[in-house]
Structure 1
Amino acid sequence: MVFDTHVHLNADQFKEDQEEVIQRAKDAGVTYMTVVGFDRKTIPLALQIAEKHEHIYAAVGWHPVDAIDMTEDDLQWLEELVEHPKVVALGEMGLDYHWDKSPVHVQKEVFRKQIRLAKRVNMPIIIHNREASEDIVDILREENAAEVGGVMHCFSSTPDIAQQCLDMNFYISLGGPVTFKNAKDPKEVAQMVPMDRLLIETDCPFLAPHPHRGKRNEPSYVTLVGEKIAELRGLSVEEVFTKTTDNAKRFFRL
């Protein structure tokens, strides 16, 4: 049993063959998935997929790139959605300094509001970080996000940042980049994170692992991530899959 902790099966890239993709994942041993919705369009789709499939769950949040669009009504909506039986986390939320659609101060405000919501409803959070590690760690610390804990999704920063996140009760999730030839940091992180704090994911349709790099990613490929971690740590593939699945169930409180 394998748990892909972060998928976007609600993306347009899967519109034509979503069910076939889910079946391929099952055939590859990927039993569990969490579909992440992050705006008005993708959240309802994430819920629909989770409602339809027993072992697929949903996360709901507001993406930092679209922070400029979030209203108080949207925040209220997220608070209502956490009551849904298949919603297991709030996110993805965080900071993204790569795209400039939403000003930094707006991103930070929306990020803080979602952390506070998570603390109110006692739900773990999923963090999106792109080129914003220091600010993210600072905000998580200032808002005492350790109280609910969370996961650094598709972690791509340094071992030092990983350690700071671990110290705040966070899990580290690795995806396709750990399989990339020149990806030094993800490989180091894969070796230093305690096995009971490690998750795996695809972030599909993005960041497909080697040898599918540059193509559409899908949940069945998460096994390649687990295999690379097993190789880096000198463990059996079964041990990595068992441990990361147990971790994911604990993190999502399943």
Structure 2
Amino acid sequence: MQLIDTHCHLVSDKLKNNLPEIIERAKACGVQKIINIAYDPATITLAQEQIKTSEILYATLGIQPHDASQFTIEEAEKIRPIALNNQKIVGIGEIGLDGHYTLSPMGKQIECFEYFLQMALELNLPIVVHMRETHTDVYSRIKQFAKKGLKGVIHCFTGTLSEAKDYLAEDFYLSFSGIVTFKNAIDLQEVAKYIPENRILIETDSPYLSPVPLRGKTNEPSHILHTCEFIAKLRNINSENFAKVTAHNAETLFYRLRSPD
């Protein structure tokens, strides 16, 4: 298998103390690269240390909407020199807007999101977007920046087919987590079948959202195999071929994942 987990949180308290074992289990399942997502000032620091420990680890840096209350320009600007000087920082994120768990005021979420959109554009790095019950506000901003050349992915996509088409029209990627394997995710499964081959990604979002048959257990990158196999079956494609497709897409979007020629 040639699998890439495009979104996990090895910085999480549930995973960070077992990193060597987690990485070995991932490798044994065919995971060749893992993108470790930082989401607040503390995890930004931790992720930089973690990616030094394994050749398959990469990271993105950002402040997620839940933690937007911690956003300041000073904190955000600490990311810029790191991203410029470390090729294992492959994107900006996760960033976005969350209307379900408003753990940070929406005004602060918007301020944080817009700042990082501009930074990512200036750094020529893709964005990793968290979007929950905020499609209109997220899409309107992405559309403006996509016209300027910004690329990115809507991570853990759970939206409608109509919403998916909006992001696809801006050449954004859509990433599917273990949620797509859940029995009640019939509509999402239809979306996963629809997405063009060159715009689909897979992720674990670990330690959350373990796929069937591991639902309820702590998630980790090795579990991406189950999501890959499930979506491959939905799309009537061999799972190894689907793994190659999604790995190629990941290396196209997160271009720093590619090995130098």
TM-score by length of 2: 0.94
Matched, 1:186 2:188: yes
Residues 98-177 of structure 1 mapped to structure 2, 5 A cutoff: 98-144=100-146, 147-177=149-179
Residue equivalent to 1:21: 22
Q: Which runs of 5+ in 1 are unaligned?
A: none
Question: Which whole-Å deviations, capped at 9, do the CAs of 1:136-167 have from their partners, x for residues lacking one?
Answer: 11121234466121001010101111111011
Shift of 1:53: 1.1
Residue equivalent to 1:244: 246
Shift of 1:101: 2.2
The separation in 2 between residues aligned to 1:27 and 1:143, in whole angstroms, is: 39
Residues 70-85 of structure 1 mapped to structure 2, 5 A cutoff: 70-83=71-84, 84-85=86-87
Shift of 1:16: 3.2
Shift of 1:185: 2.8
Deviant stretches of 4+, over 4 Å: none
TM-score by length of 1: 0.97
CA RMSD after TM alignment: 1.2
The separation in 2 between residues aligned to 1:190 and 1:169, in whole angstroms, is: 16
Shift of 1:130: 1.5
Structure 1: which amino acid aligns with 2:55? Answer: E
The separation in 2 between residues aligned to 1:146 and 1:33, in whole angstroms, is: 28
Shift of 1:100: 2.2
Residue 146 to residue 2, structure 1, CA distance change in 2 (3 Å): farther
Residue equivalent to 2:59: 58
The separation in 1 between residues aligned to 2:111 and 2:46, in whole angstroms, is: 26
Residue 217 of structure 2 aligns to a residue whose secondary structure is coil
Q: Higher mean Cα deviation, 146-155 or 244-253?
A: 146-155
The separation in 2 between residues aligned to 1:71 and 1:174, in whole angstroms, is: 31
Structure 2: which amino acid aligns with 1:115? Answer: L
Question: Which whole-Å deviations, capped at 9, do the CAs of 1:201-220 have from their partners, x for residues lacking one?
Answer: 00000011011112100111
Residue equivalent to 1:2: 3
The separation in 2 between residues aligned to 1:215 and 1:145, in whole angstroms, is: 41
